[in-house]
Structure 1
Amino acid sequence: MNAPLPCVLFVDDEERILRSLRMLFRGRCETLATTSAREAIEWVRQRPVHVIVSDQRMPEMGGVEVLREVATISPATMRILLTGYADIDAVTAAVNEGEIYRFIEKPWLARQLIATVEQAARVAMHDFAAASREQIRVAPPEAAFASVAARVVVLDEEGALAAQVRELLPGAVQVEHASDLEGALDLLVDHDVAVIVARLSSADGEVADALKQLKTLRPATLAIVVSTLRDSRLLIGLINEGQVFRFLLQPPPRELLRRGLIAALERHEQLRTQSNLLRRHAVEVSSVPSSATMPGRLLRAWRRLREAAVMRIA
């Protein structure tokens, strides 16, 4: 008996795009396709949809709005944004509101798109099956602080961001300040860090690379990036290769930062207690520089962090 195929829903306002996607995935999955965002949302209400791939620029409703609605209706559905227009505001909303799995640009590479959708489908099918056996537990807000001494590391040269984070979080949360990347990595070696908040001032700097590498070693640690850079290319890389949890422009609005911190602590608690959910935070192979080009001080810190990760697994 053949295994059931995953259900993948494609949403795009161009019929020719939908025809191409149907052909590309013929035989690989059960495909649903529509030019109507509202019809797509209704389908998700009515039946299991393992993956939704939505275009961003549609007349009826933007792709981010569609994915946000889907996340509310069916949290186990994996969400992918497919668009040819990398607008920074849309990409930021995709992270902060839609919590997308991947951002794929048009024109897509067929092999990459197939691999991404199939990987997402495997994760979703596992989660749907688990949910049918036992409802996935969602921790109440206070659980993120009550069950363990949650720790947040703030990477910020000046320290003002760390002070703001301390003001916004309950006293039970330990907030550590690191003025440089080496100090942040040392804290990650010595402690179970729930959230890292990083100020990012350079698209090509060590911090952006570190956030990508960190996700492979500490998948349960959530990253919140605060940046002055309105750079969609940077953010797309951080989504696909680093699974950043939130992206806020500097200076971050207090309420948005507070909500992001609370949500990240709640999600970390889920990941800590339900390890099967870590599959949803898998990242693409990172394009960060090799260790041969890394400064010695950082190379030593990364070596310690990798050794600590191996010890955790053992």
Structure 2
Amino acid sequence: MTQLFLNLVDWIKNNTPWVFSGIGTAIAIPVAVEYIQKPPPPPQFRLSYEKVQDKVHLYGILTDGDVLKPKDSMRIYFYPLQEESYVYVLTQNTAGKCTVEFPNEHQKNPVDKEKEYYIHKHFDDKKDGSITIFFQAHTKPVDNLERRQASKDDCRELGKDCKKDGCYEDRLKLKFEFTGLQFSTEYTYIRRVYYGEKWDPKPPIPLEAGDELTSKDLFQIRFRPSQESYVYVLIQDTEGKCTIEFPNENKQNPVNKEEYYVFPFPKQFDDKKDGDITIFFQAHIEPVDNLEKGGSSKDNCKELGENCKKGDCFEDTLKFKFAKN
């Protein structure tokens, strides 16, 4: 159709030159230019946002206003219906941080026609708020997004790149509810029995509040965090002295999500008198400076509980008895 129109313009120019003189030029040329420069139609897509639980089980289609929690993930599905589309998917979390999710190291532009694409995303935000998904498809690449360089303003300004009839655009706004830090913790001890010339260790035994340990027993803590966090374990001995057991020179913060930790390796109490020993276990979203530096005082154990605020901290305490012999 474009070539036919250009042929018509050439014929008029050659056979009726007066059209291109005076007022004729002012009318004919702009009409031709407008026709030739008309932007291509926007890319066409099939698009859906899906809620996923336990990483594999689809829970339903997400729509504006739906709620996600730390245990949830989402899957973005799209299916291009034409060739040469450049897709950009950006997410903005509750803190306002903007991230380019597509393209990525595994999936590049331009996308292929009639091919299924999936983007898996898990949000580990540390506060309640709104999460926004920005989906755009262009007929030409957007340079800074191709390089995966996103700033805080990219999500807000992305809409400016979409001109009328030149871009496919969709947005989804979700609510995120932070349910607080979740931990799986277990306190155990190994009771050693002396046979002849050597100690024979028994399998680990769960340690409960009020149980009694001796100087022959070996103590360990096992924990598994639900998300990246800062863990502090303090032990108050029978004389009231407070010691920071975690972090230490071998175990540092932050701890990794879903990783299994075991420490000490293992600990043997050498208190000089009978009495109570208390274990203080805390996990925070942000580091606690004085505990990160490793300094401990008699008041650290007492004051540790004051650092825990609702939703910002996981806390557990265990008190048991110690017998020197």
Which TM-score band applies after superposition, normalised by the shorter structure? under 0.3
Looking at secondary structure, tell me which structure has more helix per residue. Answer: 1
Larger radius of gyration: 2
TM-score (norm 1): 0.20
Looking at secondary structure, tell me which structure has more strand per residue. Answer: 2
TM-score (norm 2): 0.20
